[in-house]
Amino acid sequence: MHERFMRRALDLATLGRGLVSPNPMVGCVIVHESEGGTRIIGEGWHQRYGDWHAEVNAVRSVQPEDAYLLPESTVYVTLEPCSHWGKTPPCANLLIDKQVKQVVCCNDDPNPLVSGQGFDRLRAAGVTVETGVLNELGRQLNARFFTFFEQQRPYLILKWAETADGFISGPAGQSIAISGPLAQRLVHRWRSEEDGIMVGTTTARIDNPRLNVRHWPGRNPTRIVIDKLLQLPASLHLFDNTQPTLVYNFQKTEISDQITYQQLRSEKPFLSQLLADLHARRIQSVFVEGGSLLLTSLLDAGFWDELRVFRSPKLVGDGVKAPTVRGTIQSREQIGDDELTIYRNNIRQ
């Protein structure tokens, strides 16, 4: 029964995808069991960053005529109830105030502000606590959140589209259309789900991308561009001040409207510095769209968590070769005329 209701809580949590970062996605289900049967009397999820957490929304959803059942109910929540004041009061305190009898949870919260303290507070108040139910599914749901705290870097998703003969662009890096319209629309949905989106210098110069979500409803990610010597022209879409943009370079640190130039030290590993700075800015996930040099550098350094590769039936005969795929296949499906394969990195850096 625990797994049944926890799966419902996990499903609810996914409704916050792309809306709650840097908070985790959390779902909550309140269940009352009696001789007459078992039923859900309340449920909720964390809907938007800064708004009420899942436990609060679940408690508020309980109908007035069922409120008296809370002390006899079990609360299923996908992540440890918070124990500190942030933008909202501690959820552990709310559950104690409502005198719930039991809390069942997927995962401990890796945030040092919580990190077991929520469970300790509940137990000290006499609430029965059970943890680790569908633990791995909970970690998959909030892989970005766990990577951010446990590895002190953003969760990195590398994406590219390649032709049937293994090229990601034409001769001399010439930009060519590879994937179809369904794949392109899906990419815009993916962009809306991540905190940042990154490209290298060559891709920025040749493709002149906008890196927004104009083909999908949702928020624009923070644009991240590598321009070590500040040679990219100011006329590029990346510098149009329509969304926050980070420019990593060796020349200067400066803020101009929505563009932040961040200087890194040339004598230290560039990618390590960049990821450390993104972590300090609380950017939990980055969608990397190229080019080949940046993608390969991240792959070689082990700084990646997912690969999302579209393979088109098109042939070009010559051009820039696609990076070598790594990792374990997680899924494969057809998106229009393109085949999408998603790989996981089993060795985390």
Task: State pLDDT tens for residues 97-134.
Answer: 999 999 999 999 999 888 889 999 999 999 999 999 99
Are 35 and 52 within one domain?
yes
| DSSP SS3 for 343 | strand
Torsion of CA 132, 138, 142, 143, to 10 degrees: 90
In percent, how much of the chain has pLDDT > 70? Answer: 99
Q: Determine the pLDDT at residue 176.
A: 87
Q: Provide the domain count of the chain.
A: 2
**306 included as an active-site residue:** no
Task: State pLDDT tens for residues 197-214.
Answer: 999 999 999 999 999 999
Are 184 and 277 within one domain?
yes
Domain for residue 126, yes or no?
yes
- Answer with the one of 148, 171, 206 that is the final residue of a domain: 148
- Domain interval for residue 88: 2-148
pLDDT higher than threshold 60 for residue 349: no
Q: Determine the pLDDT at residue 290.
A: 84
List 55, 193, 194, 289, catalytic entry: 55
> If pLDDT is split at 50, 70 and 90, which confidence band does 228 have?
very high
The pLDDT of 140-169, averaged and rounded, is 96
**Category of 132 on φ-ψ map: left (φ > 0), alpha (ψ -120 to 50) or beta:** left
Tell me the average pLDDT of the chain: 94
Which residue in the block uniquely carries the two structure tokens 């920025």?
A: 204
Domain for residue 142, yes or no?
yes
Are 144 and 170 within one domain?
no
Are 39 and 176 within one domain?
no
Are 176 and 318 within one domain?
yes
Are 172 and 276 within one domain?
yes
Q: Determine the pLDDT at residue 251.
A: 96
Q: Determine the pLDDT at residue 84.
A: 73
Give which of 303, 317, 309, 318 is closest to 339, Cα–Cα.
309
Q: What is the rounded distance in angstroms from the CA atom of residue 128 to the CA atom of residue 148?
A: 30
- What are the strands of the beta sheet with 259-263, ordered from one edge? 254-256, 259-263, 245-249, 222-226, 196-199, 285-288, 155-162, 306-311, 338-344, 328-335
C-alpha distance from residue 210 to each of 107, 187, 253 (Å): 37, 13, 23
Are 262 and 184 within one domain?
yes
Are 170 and 125 within one domain?
no
pLDDT higher than threshold 90 for residue 348: no
Alpha helices in 193-319 (DSSP H): 201-207, 270-280, 292-301
Domain for residue 349, yes or no?
no
CATH number of the domain that residue 239 is part of: 3.40.430.10
> If pLDDT is split at 50, 70 and 90, which confidence band does 37 have?
confident
pLDDT higher than threshold 90 for residue 254: yes
Are 141 and 185 within one domain?
no
- Answer with the one of 148, 168, 193 that is the final residue of a domain: 148
